[in-house]
Amino acid sequence: MEAAPFGSGILSGSPNPYGECGADLWFEALLAYSEWPMSRIHLLSEEVASQVAAGEVVERPAAVVKELVENSIDAHSTRIEVLTRRGGISLIQVTDNGIGMDRDDALLCLERHATSKIRSGHDLAAIHTLGFRGEALPSIASVSHFRLSTREHNALAGTEILVNAGRIETVRDGGDAPGTQIEVRSLFYNLPARRKFLRTEATESSHVEHQLQLLSIAHPEISFVHLLDDRISFQLAAAPSLLDRIRDLTGPGLTNELLEIPPLETGGTRIWGYVGRIGVSRSTRQQQHCFLNGRAVENISLSQGIREGYHTALMKGQYPVTYLFIQMDPAAVDVNVHPAKREVRFRSPSEIREAVREAVSRALESNRSEWSAAFRPALGPEEPSRPTRAPQDHPSLLPPEQERARLQIPVPAPAKADSDPVTSTERPVRQPEPLTPTVPIPIPIPEPTPPVKETFRFLGVLGKLYVLMENSSGLVLVDQHAAHERILFEEMQKRMTTQGVPSQRLLLPITLQLGPKDADWIHRNFELLEKAGIGLEPFGAATYKIDALPTFVKTDDPAQLLHDIIDELRDTNASSAKLRMGEDMIAKTVCRHAVKANDTLREPELARLIEDLLACDLPYCCPHGRPTMIQVSYLELEKKFGRKA
């Protein structure tokens, strides 16, 4: 065989790419190629492979506790006891009274991918247990000093197995009680790099306790005991209901602020649980818990559904307190996404998001009648309503016809004539003189408003903002600005979703070039945008011309406005998008035109304000999530003045 001429390719016989001037570089390339090993891919040793797998499943002591307790739950245990020392770094011991294992199963469970929960790939589409991969026990045993003691209930003796860094050292008879006990000592002792990444003992202990609390909430029928450094951290007996288990963990203070989600069944999916009342929220998602088929999970569709369920009843940057339970066909969800099984993937995320939104909305609506009743008890005929201090005509009050034409905002409809008769002591409301339409309006009064039967006693106005009233429960404070915001917001929103809003042509239309996803969203929601008063017209590939905006929108950058709307609504489904279309625009508009802090209102105006507020769909808060009414009970006042402990 003849030698290849100078300049031929190394692998394919191609000519020297460097040319004659690059001979030195070519010889260096030939020398490097001659030193390459014949095979660069090789199999990892069993020890290294075990440590790699353990790094995916066992992140920290809390992950060990989670995997072991889930195995105990799958073993039909009714009592689970967990002991941890030094945050689980020194010792983790999990003891249960489950069905136990014989010697063959005890040895086999320490082999990788050995499990009793699935048999074939088809079983992955119907997973009814918390564990199924068969990776947890061998992974934990490969990075610790591991002891397994198990015994079946009808067996005379059990089995005890000692494992050191994944190698079985001892197998012998054991005499422990029926069930299974697993001890994990010196976690990550053979992986010092991983051990250095662990946090302080207090931090690791908090993660362990968090996992145990999630598991105990998901399974209230099981008794849990947690011993932290040989001291009882919490001890939970089997609870008769989910609310009792939540009360055992958080105390009555939180459970009294929870609303039950009426069970909702749709398309084979059942949703139930508890959510916080309006105004009960947190600055993080720490108390937003979702459980799918008995497993604590995380999923963006669930979070979006909860948020949409609260709609405008939640302030930005706040997250609701949630204990949401979902039962559905395992074939409709993939739990085999994350090594720790925290994240799941739904086959129809939009449907589950809509179901969650509907369930949360129903829970909040169920509290509406109770909320209204708490704020409007009768005071009796012997306690007539007292007028506010120095009633006077508001200088900026306009007739309703002029106000409708000026702002394009619908005003509250007048009360029905047969609602309540006007008493002889009531004075008709005097209409003020019309002013120029450039002055904002606080509360339009189309005609004298008759009082409601169940009325408040008006005490006065504090700081020209907070209306003080008395009912049979105590003191009621109303933020007149927030209350009027809610009234105008819902009126404007209903008009937008049913009739559409008037639009105004731009003097100079602008063109907007969008990305593929944004252009597709506009194409699918073209009619919705037109109904919201935004005039759009295709102007080439992924380009649109904006030639009209709603009359109440004030913006110097229509393109940015459209981008903001797309970003706000892209992740919502069609029904939610109709509710949220232009929500921020409406909220800003009504905020400008609602009653301000220094606007003085007369008693009939205040009465109408309260009546219209109680008729709203979400009277609890303004469009920004701030409360509209606050009840201070007599009991709270008596405690403040030392009359009661």
Element (H, E) at 459: strand 457-462
C-beta separation of 535 from 546 below 8 A: yes
- Listed in sequence order, the DSSP H helices in 291-348 are 300-310
Residue 309 CA to residue 324 CA, distance in Å, equals 12
CATH of domain 257-366: 3.30.230.10
pTM exceeds cut of 0.85: no
In the three-class reduction of DSSP (H, G, I as helix; E, B as strand; rest coil), residue 176 is classed as: coil
Per-residue confidence band for 396, with pLDDT thresholds at 50, 70 and 90: very low
Q: What is residue 6's DSSP assignment?
A: T
Residue 531 has pLDDT above 90, yes or no: no
Contact 306, 320 (CB under 8 A): yes
Instruction: With beta carbons less than 8 A apart as the criterion, state whether 469 and 614 touch.
Output: no
Q: How many CA atoms lie within 13 A of 589 on its CB side?
A: 23
Of the pLDDT bands very low, low, confident and very high (cuts 50, 70, 90), residue 35 is low
Beta bridge partners of 133: none
Residue that wins the pLDDT comparison between 522 and 89: 89
**How confident is residue 270, by pLDDT bands cut at 50, 70 and 90?**
very high
Q: Where exactly does CATH 3.30.230.10 map onto the chain? A: 257-366
Give CA 31 to chain center in angstroms: 60
Q: Given pLDDT bands bounded at 50, 70 and 90, which one contains residue 559?
A: confident
92 vs 399: CA distance, rounded Å: 74
The string over 373-410, giving b where at least 16 C-beta atoms fall within 10 Å of a residue's C-beta and e elsewhere, is ebbbeebeeeeebeebeeeeebeebbbbeebeebbbbb
Lowest mean pLDDT among 113-122, 549-558, 573-582: 573-582
Residue 124: predicted pLDDT? 65
For the stretch 109-118, pLDDT in tens is 898 877 776 6
At 184-238, the pLDDT tens digits run 999 999 888 888 889 999 999 999 999 999 999 999 999 999 999 989 999 999 9
**Count of other CB atoms within 10 angstroms of residue 517:** 11
Q: Which helix (H) or strand (E) holds 582?
A: none
Beta-strand relationship, 223-228 and 231-236: antiparallel
**Phi then psi dihedrals of residue 273, to 5 deg:** 135, -150
Output the CA angle 140-144-150, nearest 5 degrees: 65
The whole-number pLDDT of residue 217 equals: 97
Residue 121 gets the label, from left (phi > 0), alpha (psi -120 to 50) or beta, of: alpha
Q: Which two tokens stand for residue 333?
A: 């969800």
Among 80-94, 109-123, 185-199, 292-306, which range has the highest average pLDDT?
A: 80-94
In CATH terms, the superfamily for domain 47-227 is: Histidine kinase-like ATPase, C-terminal domain (3.30.565.10)
Tell me what pLDDT residue 599 has.
82
Counting every residue written for the chain, the total comes to: 645
Question: How far is CA 239 from each of CA 230, 242, 382, rounded to the nearest angstrom?
Answer: 24, 7, 49
396-418+430-645: CATH topology: formyl-coa transferase, domain 3 (3.30.1540)
pLDDT of 163 strictly over 90: yes
* Stretch among 21-30, 523-532, 534-543, 620-629 having the lowest mean pLDDT: 21-30
CA–CA–CA angle 174, 179, 182 (5° rounding):
70
State the span(s) of the chain assigned CATH 3.30.565.10: 47-227
**pLDDT tier, 631 (very low <50, low <70, confident <90, very high otherwise):** confident
Q: What is the pLDDT of residue 445?
A: 42
Per-residue pLDDT of 471-503, as tens digits, reads 888 898 999 999 998 988 888 777 777 776 778
SS (H, E, C) 336-371: CCCCCCCECEECCHHHHHHHHHHHHHHHHHHCHHHH
Q: How far from each other are the two terminal CA atoms of the chain, in whole angstroms?
A: 105
pLDDT (0 to 100) of residue 373? 65
pLDDT averaged over the chain? 78
Which of 84-98, 224-238, 526-540 is predicted with the least confidence, judged by mean pLDDT? 526-540
Question: Which conformational region is residue 317 in: left (phi greater than 0), alpha (psi within -120 to 50 degrees), or beta?
Answer: left
Of 322-326, 356-360, 585-589, the least confident: 585-589
Residue with token string 């689980």: 88
